[in-house]
Structure 1
Amino acid sequence: MDTSSHIIMGLGLAALAQIDPVVANDSTLSQAVLFGTVIGSNAPDFDFIYRMKGKGSYIRNHRAMSHSLLALPLWSVAVSGIIYSFFPGSSLLQLFLWTFLAVILHVFFDLFNVHGTQVLLPFSKKWIAFDSIPLVDPIILSVHFLGFCLLPFFEMGKMFFILYIFIFLYLATRTLSTVVTKRKLQLYFSNSIRIKLIPRISLFQWDVIIETNEDFLFGVYSKGSLVIEHSLLKKIDFPELVSDSKNHPFVSDFLSSTQYAYPFVQTRKNGYLIYWKDLRFRTNKFFPNLAIIAVTSDYKMKNCFIGTLYSLKHYKQVIRQLKKTVILKKG
């Protein structure tokens, strides 16, 4: 989920907290819990501080240790402890419990989109993603907004309890449909190496990546049928050069954040451009999330771009800058 979604969920949890008599009967504690759930709902994303060390550091560490099981109680203790210092008369236990719930739900919901998290760190570096909901889910947001609109008419805690039951049933439905759809595709593409489903906003619709020994197939699964829209042949030119590019810090950071990166080499007048594209994110035949490294004709690696290309204009600007790096070096 994105930041705005986590904030809205934090507000929803503050309303849900009114089902707790200790919170409902103490206005000071209610205020403290409001801060606790909103901040706690965003605490795991405080790993944005890695941006201070550069974009690559942030990409490597986002949704990593900050989203691990070991970090959940630590975030909760830190957030509730700081808030308690401003509301010393409130119940620290209740404040901690509701903050802890907010932190848990942040990581829990992040597990259900295509990015996933490294929730098992430091015991496992595996990325876990259930591919059930989009990064911004309009149904989850709409349910929260409905609840906020109905606050003057119904008891706050009980109403949001019912709404959260609906949200979890909705999440279970999307998750079950993802599992069923993936099994269908695995049976049909029995020779596939792996299949990735990327949930769309519409229910029961996914973008699909099917990896075989020869290629990647990209399509859309909707209403029980799959339409293949694009394919990429698995062919690595200059394999030694590609292998060496993995040692570049930016490329290494990029590869640590995805299990669906694939390299493509483009020959230029004065050298090469190596594209490591994240195949999970596609707009037609364009893959906006990537790392691009410029290499001179004598195989010396120079400048590198890592991140998201937001437009064709942005792409041209990045390529122009990378080409200048190679040309200046050759000159």
Structure 2
Amino acid sequence: MDNVTHALHGLALYAAAATDPALAQDPTAMSAVLWAVSLGSQAPDFDFVVRLFGGDIAYLKHHRGISHSIPAWLIWPTVLALVLWFFFPGHFGLLWWWSFLGVIVHVGMDLLTTYGTAAFWPLSKRRYGWDVLMIVDLVLWAFGALGIYLWWTGVSPERVLWYTILPSIVYLLLRVAVQYYLRSRVRRYYEKTGVDIGRISVIPFLGMFRWNLVVESPQGYQLGTAHLRKGISIKDSYARQGAEQVMAELEHSQVYQVFRWFARHLFLEVKTDEQGQMRAEMADLTFGFSDRLPLMAQVTLDAEGKVLEEKLIRKPDKFRKTDKKTQQNKNHDAK
């Protein structure tokens, strides 16, 4: 999630602490809680320093990695409590607990997005993304703004939580149900058409009705939308490209290693120029949007397979599609 949403959830934890009469009557303790939840709700994203010192490729590899993992759930609260203890002596346990809750809520909300999170390392190396929320969700922002307004007007902490947290939970459960229904609907459609498919992703988009769609098959990938009312619409198709001739050489590329580990739907295309140099372009189709693939990279190899250049592409061109004229805007009613 974005840092604004994380901050709002930190304030929600502060409101929860204020429901404890003993804490609410101790201004120093409440100040300690405010600092603990504010920093704890942001701490896992302190991995931004990786970009400052290691660049974009290193950041892509490490963001939402160990900083969100099980050891970090305990390390972040300990570090924050030790730092804040100098300002709030005698409250180490209080600082640790509320920092811990801030970290846990942060990681939990990140798991609901599409961008993978290595939340369960070292038990699992997999990056989990449950495709329930976009990185920025305006509905959650609205609930947070409502909570701030109610607090400012003097509404009790209990009622603030009742009017904001309960609707937020209902909203999240509704999104989970819609996503599950659309996934089932997509699978039923392909079963009826007899097309053999592999992994599918139903990815959140603006609103509740339209979701982006990625479907893998032995022939390639299909990108489109899954809509509650309009059914399934396939916009683009990407054929699997023969890249076996450079797979061994690409293993020496840091970019390729990161993409192979990070990308949920990795598409790889290899082109050879007149000098025999090969250019491997790769993209994570999970993040395809509006006929563009924003998460792309490029590796250039010489005729002997040596890596000459590797980079992320900030303003990517369109990838070549399969039978664009017939696939573009081809709608399938999945009812």
Q: Confirm or deny that 1:252 pairs with 2:257.
A: yes
- Cα offset, 1:167, TM superposition: 1.1
Aligned residue type for 2:113: N
**Equivalent residue for 2:25?**
25
Would you say the 8 A contact 1:242–1:274 is kept in 2?
no
**Equivalent residue for 2:239?**
233
- CA deviation map 1:162-187 (0-9, x unaligned): 11122122111111211121122122
| Counterpart-to-counterpart distance in 1, 2:86 and 2:315 | 43
Matches within 5 A, 1:125-140: 125-140=125-140
- CA deviation map 1:134-185 (0-9, x unaligned): 1101011110011111223343421332111221221111112111211221
**Equivalent residue for 2:80?**
79
- Cα offset, 1:283, TM superposition: 2.7
Aligned residue type for 1:108: G
- Cα offset, 1:66, TM superposition: 1.4
Q: Confirm or deny that 1:151 pairs with 2:156.
A: no
Would you say the 8 A contact 1:133–1:201 is kept in 2?
no
Q: Confirm or deny that 1:272 pairs with 2:278.
A: yes
- 1:213 corresponds, among 211, 218, 221, to 218
Matches within 5 A, 1:297-308: 297-306=303-312
**Equivalent residue for 1:173?**
174
**Equivalent residue for 2:320?**
none
Identical pairs, percent: 27
Would you say the 8 A contact 1:16–1:160 is kept in 2?
no
**Equivalent residue for 2:121?**
121
May I ask how many residue pairs the two structures share in their alignment?
A: 310
**Equivalent residue for 1:316?**
none
Find the residue that maps to 2:175 and give its secondary structure.
helix
Q: Confirm or deny that 1:111 pairs with 2:117.
A: no
Find the residue that maps to 2:151 and give its secondary structure.
coil
Would you say the 8 A contact 2:264–2:286 is kept in 1?
no
| TM-score, with length taken from structure 2 | 0.86
- CA deviation map 1:83-130 (0-9, x unaligned): 1221115x3333322221111000000011111311121121112111
Aligned residue type for 2:278: Y
In structure 1, list runs of 5 or more residues that go unmatched: 313-331
- Once the two structures are overlaid, the 10-residue window that deviates more, 52-61 or 195-204, is 52-61
Aligned residue type for 1:181: L
Aligned residue type for 1:85: F
- Once the two structures are overlaid, the 10-residue window that deviates more, 13-22 or 190-199, is 13-22
| Counterpart-to-counterpart distance in 2, 1:267 and 1:156 | 67
**Equivalent residue for 2:204?**
199
Would you say the 8 A contact 1:16–1:156 is kept in 2?
no
Would you say the 8 A contact 1:9–1:41 is kept in 2?
yes
| Counterpart-to-counterpart distance in 2, 1:103 and 1:290 | 30
Q: From the superposition, tell whether residues 156 and 243 of structure 1 become closer, same or farther in structure 2 (CA, over 3 Å).
A: farther
Find the residue that maps to 1:220 and give its secondary structure.
strand
- Once the two structures are overlaid, the 10-residue window that deviates more, 200-209 or 248-257, is 248-257
In structure 2, list runs of 5 or more residues that go unmatched: 318-335
| Counterpart-to-counterpart distance in 2, 1:69 and 1:109 | 15
- Cα offset, 1:208, TM superposition: 0.1
Would you say the 8 A contact 1:42–1:106 is kept in 2?
yes
| Counterpart-to-counterpart distance in 1, 2:27 and 2:274 | 69
